[in-house]
Amino acid sequence: MADNKCEDCSHDDTVDIPDDHPAKGLGDDYDPNVMKEKFDEWSKTYDQDIEKWNYNGPKRVAESMSKIIPDKSATILDLGCCTGLVGEELSKVGFHNVDGVDISDECIKLAKGKNIYRNILNEDLSPDKTLSFGTGSYDAVILVGAGMFLDIHGMKEWLRITKTDGYTVIGVMESETTSDSVKPVVDEYLSQGLMEKVHEDIVEDYFQGKSGSIVYFRPSRK
């Protein structure tokens, strides 16, 4: 969630975010334990900050998924669910079998309080960890607005727990699709035949007036 200005238009939806704020991501210093502490703290103001900062990722992803997955009883796992904003938006468009995973207990407490998720587990999405879910557990496994908050090499696991006819979905700012944290991993997994890209929605006003990319991958199991 970097604070970029709109290059192609005269308006500026940017709100200054302090450099030491966890919203800037942890970059090369990524450590799940530090991330957990930062989000335990940020959880207290996360929903208010996000509203102020004009972040519409959860709403845009829910709108897109509603079109791509017409069956609202589809099972969905929200990775890095934080305080539950994605769950709230998925619930508004009718999805009602949504689970969540996050590393921050404080975020999980707040998300649980919204009574939207079936279940929320504290699990580490780092690539060296195996998630507790069985192979092919979910119709959709989704990561929204968290591309710069964790190592998306973990996607190998997310593909494993996605049904073979389901989707592993990543929602990021459009500019992030070519970033060092996202593009090399996606290219690597596509070239290794671990997944295929089946759909991409480019959406307006994802974050601070900037467009977003919601990409749908299908696992290829050998």
Which residues of this protein are in contact with ligand SAM, per CB under 6 A? 32, 35, 39, 57-58, 80-82, 85-86, 102-104, 107, 124-126, 144-146, 149-150
Backbone dihedral region for residue 45 (phi beyond 0: left; psi -120 to 50: alpha; all else: beta): alpha
CA torsion 96-99-104-106 (nearest 10°) is 40
Q: Which is nearer to ligand SAM, 35 or 185 (CB)?
A: 35
Q: Token match 């009602």: residue?
A: 96
Task: Report the residue number whose CB is nearest to ligand SAM.
Answer: 80
Minimum separation from the CB atom of position 133 to ligand SAM (A): 13
Q: Residue 190 CB, nearest distance to ligand SAM (Å)? A: 23
Cβ-based nearer residue to ligand SAM, 100 or 166: 100
Q: Of 31 and 196, which has the nearer Cβ to ligand SAM?
A: 31
Q: If you ran DSSP here, which 8-state letter would residue 55 be given?
A: B
Are 78 and 87 in contact, with CB atoms under 8 Å apart? yes
Nearer to ligand SAM (CB atom), residue 2 or residue 220: 2
CB of 174 to ligand SAM, least distance (A): 16
Radius of gyration of the chain (CA): 16
- Residue 222 Cβ, how far from ligand SAM at the closest point, in Å? 27
| Contact (CB, 8 A) for 86 and 58 | yes
Which amino acid, residue 184? P
